[in-house]
Amino acid sequence: MLQRRPPCRNVDSLKDGKAVKNTFWFFNMKRKIFSRIPFVSLWLFAACLGPVSRYDVGNDPVVKIGLLQNLNELRFQTPAAISLRHPKGRILARNVSGPRWLVSIKQVEPARIEYRLLFMATRDKDEARAKLDKVVDAGLLPNLIEERPEYDRLWVAQNATPLYKVALRERFATREAALAKQKEIAGKAASELWEEVKKPASGILELQNLETKQSYQLPSGFQIITDRIEIPNVPVGSGFHWEGTESRAYRGRLEIFIDRTAKLTVVNVLPMEEYVRGVVPSEMAQTFPLEALKAQAVAARNEIFSKVGTRHLEDGFDLCAEVHCQVYAGINREHATTTEAVTATKGLVMKAGGVIIDANYSGVCGGHTENNEYVWSGQPQAYLRGIFDGNGRPDLLGNSLQNENTLLRWLTTKPNVYCNTTQGQIPSALEYTKKYFRWENNYSRQELQDLIRKRTGEDFGELKDLVPLERGLSGRLLRLRVVGTKKTFEISRELAIRQALAERTLWSACIAFDKSGRDRNGLFTKFKILGAGWGHGVGMCQTGAAMMALRGQNYMQILRHYYAGVALDKKY
């Protein structure tokens, strides 16, 4: 958490590599001099109350959001003066003027890293043990690692409990060796690269005013404090169909440090509710009905409490600002309606069995949501069951969408479900969702095989067939066999399949294949992918939530539809 501003004391700023006294040089005078000049003491007292820290957040937790990583330099601008804070809390410089700034690396002490393969990180010990057994059964040798936090990062008891990691025992000296092993064992168990930092990177950064050329030599991890910071050309949506860049603005503190790759990481440090104010309009259109926005605010807050301490464990921040965690676009998208939704639900989270739940959500479920264990590794959660997204019974379709023929009929019709915005009149805010409800992609065999080869790195020859092997409750594909003339291989997990079948991640894994045409070698010449929905499909369907709100249902009814058996609790 942020430390409160320390009492006013000796303040040195580092300019052009040398320690120089700033405008508060006379703090070093003897106390008796101040006592003889009352008006000077009063002036100094007022100066200590200057704009060093905007936040006295009381019981509102503070979060650290990773905005940018792997930068060679950072350019930003601000309409107001800035103050600079040392990583240990003392003020290095106050009220420094100049709109445009550049941060670059001057000196680096590299991090010492050990590479491992991580199968799971969870706070549920039983879940970790079950995963350990599963990895052992796959013929691998894992370790169960227990990590105890030094403090409760978000003032909630569940985040102060140990974190359990299931990782391969083998350690690797290089990233390349670890990735080679990951590919080798991919058919036995899905894993992610764990860059375990044994010693963090350190060094000196230079902050330069691009107008005056005034510069400061600052330690890695320093903070910039001002009311508004604007960063141009922020990458957004990496790997997805909306990938691009945009200029973003942030409130709070900007923390900049040298990361384990010897590049810059930029972190926004701010109170949780201000963060949620930026998440809601980034994840849901501001023109959606208010009750849907309230449901989104609660779900976004849940995601913070449930995920902090389980992600980005070596990155120096709590959550990232992109889809991997949840999208946070800063203050430019904030709107009176979304802020009203956040304020109306301040501090509210969902619980099941007294524990804050993991409230996953996605754009368009396509008519049926998905079980959590089918999309990610982990134990089934009672509040994240796949349900029919309409007025019928939650189990209306049973397991029928796992049947290829039934799924094909489902994908070629438009059932009366909440997220079906293709029939009847809908508000203009929901027009964009129509294309995601039912869709299709068409490829020639050459186009598709080239795409799969590029996205997977597998040289399988000519594409003979795509064979679904396993589906989730909603029909989402979990295991796919790719049959080639040189080799046959499998792609496991919903997201990996989506990444393999599109240049920028397929909208959904709720898909079926329609193959047609034959060449003289008997190979299919055309492949059509029929699909439903946008996103992983677990938890709340954001489009379904909007349609439920339009039909008069409140945010609690929406949340209970998508998260079975939950109750609201106010955390602060």
Same domain, 453 and 390: yes
The verdict on 89 and 209 lying in the same domain is yes
Residue 496 located in a structural domain = yes
Please tell me the distance from the alpha carbon of residue 45 to that of residue 381, in angstroms, as a whole number.
55
Least confident of 24-38, 346-360, 457-471, 539-553: 24-38
Secondary structure (3-state) at 162: coil
In terms of domains, do 309 and 369 share one? Answer: no
Q: Is 142 in the same domain as 208?
A: no
Verify that 122 and 103 share a domain, yes or no.
no
What is the distance between the alpha carbons of residues 215 and 16, in angstroms, rounded to a whole number?
A: 6
Share of the chain above pLDDT 70, in %: 87
Kindly compute the dihedral angle of the four CA atoms of residues 524, 527, 530, 533, in this order, to the nearest 10 degrees.
140
**pLDDT at 18 (0 to 100):** 37
Over 80: is that where the pLDDT of 431 sits? Answer: yes
Position 154 confidence tier, pLDDT thresholds 50, 70, 90: low
Distance separating alpha carbons of residues 104 and 193, to the nearest angstrom: 28
Distance CA 436, CA 147 (A): 41
pLDDT(11) > 50: no
User: How confident is the prediction for the chain on average, in pLDDT?
Assistant: 87
Q: What does the alpha-carbon distance between residue 263 and residue 110 come to, in Å, rounded to a whole number? A: 10
Residue 566 in any domain: the answer is no
Q: Which of 160, 183, 199 is the last residue of a domain?
A: 199
* pLDDT reading at 40 higher than 60: no
- Mean pLDDT to the nearest integer, 531-557: 97
Least confident of 138-152, 177-191, 208-222: 138-152
> Is residue 481 a part of any domain in this protein?
yes
Rounded distance between C-alpha atoms, residue 541 and residue 517, angstroms: 37
Same domain, 173 and 231: no
Residue 173 lies in a domain: yes
Residue 572 in any domain: the answer is no
Stated length of the chain: 572
CA 65, CA 255: separation in Å to the nearest integer?
Answer: 10
Choice among 9-13, 462-466, 496-500 with the minimum mean pLDDT: 9-13
Position of tokens 């102060």? Answer: 160
| 310-319, 393-402, 487-496, 502-511: segment of lowest average pLDDT | 393-402
Instruction: For residue 211, give its domain range.
Output: 12-109+202-337
The answer to whether position 252 is within a domain reads yes
Can you give the pLDDT at residue 160? 61
Question: 67 and 119 share a domain?
Answer: no
DSSP states along 87-104:
TTS-EEEEEE--SEEEEE
What pTM was computed for the model? 0.83
Residues 272, 379 share a domain: no
| pLDDT tens column, 188-243 | 998 999 998 899 999 999 999 999 999 999 999 999 999 999 999 998 887 777 78
Side-chain-facing half-sphere of 110: CA atoms under 13 Å: 4
- Are residue 87 and residue 16 in the same domain, yes or no? yes
Which residue, 337, 370, 401, sits at the end of a domain? Answer: 337
User: Above 70 in pLDDT, residue 12?
Assistant: no
In order of 149, 165, 178, 245, 393, the CA distances from 146 in angstroms are 10, 6, 22, 39, 41
User: 310 falls in which pLDDT band (50, 70, 90)?
Assistant: confident
Q: Is 121 a member of any domain?
A: yes
CA distances to 101, 355, 501 from 104, rounded to whole Å, are 10, 43, 39
pLDDT tens digits, one per residue of 374-407: 998 778 999 999 999 998 776 677 779 999 999 9
- Among 305, 322, 337, the domain-final residue is 337
Here the CATH number for the domain that contains residue 149 is 3.30.70.1070
84 with 233, same domain?
yes
Cα pseudo-dihedral 347, 350, 355, 356, rounded to 10:
-60
pLDDT at residue number 24: 33
Residue 237 belongs to a domain? yes
Rounded to whole angstroms, the Cα distance separating 323 from 495 reads 12
Across the range 342-347, mean pLDDT stands at 96
Q: How many domains is the chain built from? A: 3
Query: In terms of domains, do 242 and 365 share one?
Result: no
Nearest to 272 by CA among 569, 552, 550, 1: 1
Average pLDDT over residues 96-119: 94
Let me know whether 526 and 406 are in one domain.
yes
pLDDT of 96 > 80? The answer is yes
